[in-house]
Structure 1
Amino acid sequence: MTETALSLPTRPPRLPGTRAVRPRAAASLVLLRETSDGPAVLMGVRSGAHRFMPNRLVFPGGRVDPADHRVAFAAPPPSTLAASFGALATALAAAAIRETFEETGLRLAAPAPRGARLPRGGWSHFVAGGWLPAADALVPLCRLVTPSFSPIRFDARFLLAPAERLSGELRGNGELEFLRWIPLAEAEVLDLALPQRVVLREVADWLAADAAARAARRAPLWRETGPHLVRVPPL
């Protein structure tokens, strides 16, 4: 079962007169598949060139771009996403799907309906061949806001998706390296950053729930409260 509070690393007090950086909206896709070693998730090592979490094992994802608010879907997100993430849910789904394709080569998509207008710009490679994002299988997993002491902050939503809905060949683009499917039992003992530990515990909690509990579930928020990262609502 998921813990409801985790200790944050110690940090120096903020300088007088300074404010915390405003977090930017972001989304990550937690891809789940069954293996001979049990359920596994796709993770990769973030490039050392990044300012945010360099050389750490993470899930594919990134910030929401303006084009993510306008892209059409071959299959729109389920209503459960809006119930958990509000008006931004559709853009978050688009961002998670687009970033995952860019970083892993895996496409969560379906053929575009006849006559559909295909987006350009940051979506041009994704839609090549007549594809549009398919978000109907997405599950709202959790929301996590980077603690206020970080110089780079995200208001990140994590979405769960079944690997059997993916197409494409697994490959990195330099942003994520050493991509591989990691069994949950192995991931639990790795040296992971706090956000990834939180997400993995939410995955385990979702897997342990029955169909009725999954249908009624709303994505919890993990936020900074004093020296802890606290789950709202608690279990």
Structure 2
Amino acid sequence: MTTQAHERPYFPAPDAVLHDNGIRFDSYRRDDTEVRVSYLPPGAVVAPQSRAEAQVGMVFRGELSATVGGVTKLMKPEHDVYVVPPGVELSAVNTSSSETVVLEIRRDKAGESCPAPSGYFLEPLESRKFVKMDVTFFLADWIELMIADIPGGGEMPYHKHSHEQIGICLEGRYDMTVEETSHELRFGGTYFCASQEGHSAANPHTGMARSLNIFIPPRYHRVPKPGDDQDSEQESP
């Protein structure tokens, strides 16, 4: 990609960073939200640190021993998600003999509450079919993650909603359109879709494509508030 991030706010170009400890990452950013695709070599250590941003992370490949607020979990690929509120300490180590790839969202939006689930970690809420795609959901009070398999020829029709949506290509390649801007996403490629920005996705290829989609606040599984007896928001694309 050669277009600069400020010229394509929906599909920002990544900034590549390499640390002295061998950890490298690609950083994609729009406004108050950053997506990081991090590559941790065997034995790499992320030192304990608390940050001003909320952090949400998932292992895509390999494994990671993560400690959040004193709670430690060995995270498996696409099965465990950590949710770290601002000011809570996070540390991690790649205890395996292979490279670990971590997908992380960092967010610092004024006035937004980002509480953690009990124990700081999420496991899959459910897996099912949705618009001819196999999808798996993870849910916290303020954020929802959806892994979607997009079959060859599959598509998500153009639509809008009030929720912010962020997406990361995990495997294969697919075409993403936000407003009138289209871009082919490959591994790590990220899009940012603000509230009421129209968007669609299509896989014109024969092979499967996979994506991680983040909704803020939750879109398909609305988290009920105390005393809220209303039905959940009607599900639509």
What TM bracket, shorter-length normalisation? under 0.3
Q: Which structure: greater strand fraction?
A: 2
How high is the TM-score relative to the length of structure 2?
0.26
Q: Which structure: greater helix fraction?
A: 1
With a CA cutoff of 8 Å and minimum separation of 6, indicate the structure with the bigger relative contact order.
1
How high is the TM-score relative to the length of structure 1?
0.26
